[in-house]
Structure 1
Amino acid sequence: MLKQMKAAPKFVIAALLVVAGLAFAGEKVTEADVKAAQVEWGNGIVAISAEHKKGGDYKARAKKHIDTLYAYGHTDVMFKPTLAAEDQFRETFEEALSYFIGTKGTEDGGFAIKGWTKVRWENNGIFTHGNTATAMGNYYFTGPDGKETKVEYSFGYVRGKDGKLRINLHHSSLPYNPK
């Protein structure tokens, strides 16, 4: 097979690679895929906090987090962070980065640099459909004092042409408090 591939014209090889990529992108998303993506997301937030705490390059870590887990540059992303009021929706990579690490002169204090030590998930439901999925529930952020902060979330996922599961919808909010 390899000899045949080497003998094939380059356009045929390119076409096969495109078809293979599309087949991989069409791979069905499973509940296990979503749970793995959630763990990876939580670990990324903890890593950004840890990098900030030790005085490291937390900005680079946050960029990697967004670049590998969100669908910016692949498709539209709808991101409504928990602690956002003035700039409620973060349609761009740069706006998401500002939310995670903070930007002087804005409402963004840097959610991911607050010293989080753990993120755990409680899914209310995970729905998969082809190469997409949606999950909703609560996630809990453990702070440096050991106390948990409960946050409600809805995440949407899409499998990209590269086969990677990426977030294309992220909405989170603090639970309703009638007081």
Structure 2
Amino acid sequence: MFTEDMVHKALQTWCDNVVAVGKAHSDGGDPRAVATKVLTDNYDYDNGKVLFKPTLTFGTRTYRPTKDGALAYFVGGSDEFPDDKGFKLKPWVKVWYSKEDFILHGDLAIVQCNVHFIGQDDSHIFVNKSFVFKECEDGKVRIILHQSSLPYQP
């Protein structure tokens, strides 16, 4: 059964992973390896289906139902997704969530929140997020739905 504590841990892990990928890039490490591990550990691509709509995607490449598509969005460098520059490479040095609300339903948590990103250059953006986290058979919590959009600007 999913709990409130599991929601907060899953959200914090997601935020920490954004920073970890950017840090690997800025420290001269291997951000692709870090991002691949994030996708393996925290998204259910290897065991099931993931519905992922990143913030800055468009056209026929808007949705990323494959691990390769998600990896391209995170770190760029894919011929299949030439418009992806690697959102997580900025690097983002601080990421946190706020205004979260959720519904717990068995082994699922359906979550909405705002996520704030602070770049190394002091830039600040925030995006609206929806996640569905699933407690998987191996006991790990993984994302099965991740939708992201910029706030509406009338």
**Do these two structures clear the TM 0.5 threshold for a shared fold by scoring above it?**
yes
Q: Which has the higher helix share?
A: 1
1:84-138 CA distances to partner (integer Å, 9 max, x unpaired)?
0031110011100000001255110101101100111013411111100111021
Matches within 5 A, 1:89-108: 89-103=63-77, 106-108=82-84
Q: TM-score, normalised by structure 1?
A: 0.81
- Alpha-carbon separation, structure 2, partners of 1:34 and 1:95: 25
Q: Which has the higher strand share?
A: 2
Aligned position for 2:103: 127
Once superposed, what is the RMSD of the aligned Cα atoms?
1.1
- Alpha-carbon separation, structure 2, partners of 1:147 and 1:100: 18
Runs (4 or more) in structure 1 with deviation over 3 Å come to none
Partner SS, residue 70 of structure 2: helix
- Alpha-carbon separation, structure 2, partners of 1:123 and 1:35: 12
- Alpha-carbon separation, structure 2, partners of 1:58 and 1:150: 22
User: 2:104 is aligned with what amino acid?
Assistant: T
Partner SS, residue 108 of structure 1: coil
User: 2:48 is aligned with what amino acid?
Assistant: T
What stretches of structure 1 of length at least 5 have no aligned partner? Answer: 1-27
The structure having more radius of gyration, on CA atoms, is 1
Contact 1:124 1:137 in 2 (8 A): yes
Aligned position for 1:5: none
- Alpha-carbon separation, structure 2, partners of 1:104 and 1:157: 27
Partner SS, residue 74 of structure 1: coil
Q: Is 1:77 the equivalent of 2:88?
A: no
Q: CA deviation at 1:75?
A: 1.6
Q: TM-score, normalised by structure 2?
A: 0.94
- Alpha-carbon separation, structure 1, partners of 2:29 and 2:91: 13
User: 2:84 is aligned with what amino acid?
Assistant: D
- Alpha-carbon separation, structure 2, partners of 1:89 and 1:59: 20
- Alpha-carbon separation, structure 2, partners of 1:74 and 1:133: 18
